[in-house]
Amino acid sequence: MSLLNNPDGFVHGPISPGAGASAGGGGATQFVMQAALIPNKSKFEYQGARKLATIVEKTFDSGLADENFLYFHGVTDGDFDAIERELRRVQLRTAVRLTFENTLNAAILRISSGPEHGRIGMSLYLEILVKISSIPGHSFQSVEGFGATLLQDPGVRSKQGDRGFGPATRVGRNAWPSVMIQVGYSAGEEFFHLDAAWWLINSADRIRCVILVCVAKDPLALGIECWSLVESGSPESGHNPRRAPTCVQKITIDTEGNLESTMGSTELRIPYDAIFDEVQENPPDIVFSFDDLKEFTLRRFRMIQP
């Protein structure tokens, strides 16, 4: 691993994503693929939480992009509390989401500088809550929100999402959501898709649906994707069925309210059994019609336009 000293005193890339471990195996695959998308100039050797926060602050203040990704080697989620304190000190805690891969002694930070990150995720979550509360026998208390909780595979890896939620029957400090909402920008779409795969593969079936909301800036548009684990292959074909992270719904809406779907459906459907753990006969899904999606998107555009 070759390291260069920056004029600003920080040690940075090139740093191999697999330094110190066998990269690419098992649940580390998505992390390694994301690390490969980050340019060497944005890869650093971890030298403490305060220096990390300084790098984050400089990146945020540069204003070069709505979303930036940083890679740090020599860090695990055991450093999370110290990092969180320092990010709060520089008033950037809510702008950063962290992913730790302890098997590689590394972390990836996603830094979002625009208002879309917080506003859109919360708004969609509240809309889903309204839909859930309209189901007979359910209310707003039927689900619990997770916010940006650091969700852990203890000692192995951990990750923060934007807005998770799950059934209120899941209790305890180690509970995971069943649905994860991630908000990002079209420039980071490949990174975004790897996020969806990470949640589905590393949650041990606890997360069953990932909703990606992707903001395009020029021209302004909002893309919504739903990802889940889908079986591929079959005994008849001579292959054992395996489940792979798959985009099952994809919808794009522009500022005129025009909706485009590459998968044929003009509605967003979240399966009931993706949210709730108990088995019900013919349970109702959460459905956003074309009109629902158009109204939601146009209201969001009014909130985020300059």
At which residue do the structure tokens 């990836």 appear? 108
pLDDT of residue 193: 96
pLDDT of residue 240: 58
Residue 124 has pLDDT above 80, yes or no: yes
Q: Which residue has the higher pLDDT, 158 or 186?
A: 158
* Tens digits of residue pLDDT in 29-39: 999 999 999 99
Task: Show the tokens assigned to 300.
Answer: 């969001």
Which amino acid is present at 201? I
Which of 96-100, 170-174, 229-233, 297-301 has the least mean pLDDT?
229-233
Query: 109 burial class (0-12, 13-18, 19+ CB within 10 angstroms)?
Result: buried
Domains and CATH numbers, the chain: 4-112 (3.30.110), 116-304 (3.90.1570)
Beta bridge partners of 252: 223, 260
3-state class (DSSP) for residue 24: coil
With contact defined as beta carbons under 8 Å apart, do 268 and 293 qualify? yes
pLDDT of residue 234: 57
Spatial distance between the Cα atoms of 71 and 12, rounded to a whole number of angstroms: 9
Percent of the chain with pLDDT over 90: 71
**Alpha-helical runs (H) found in the chain:** 29-37, 49-62, 80-89, 116-133, 189-202, 272-275, 290-304
* Tens digits of residue pLDDT in 67-90: 899 999 999 999 999 999 999 999
Residue 22 has pLDDT above 50, yes or no: no
At which residue do the structure tokens 């697999």 appear? 18
Task: Show the tokens assigned to 174.
Answer: 């180690």
pLDDT of residue 252: 95
For residue 183, the tally of other CB atoms under 10 A from its CB is 26
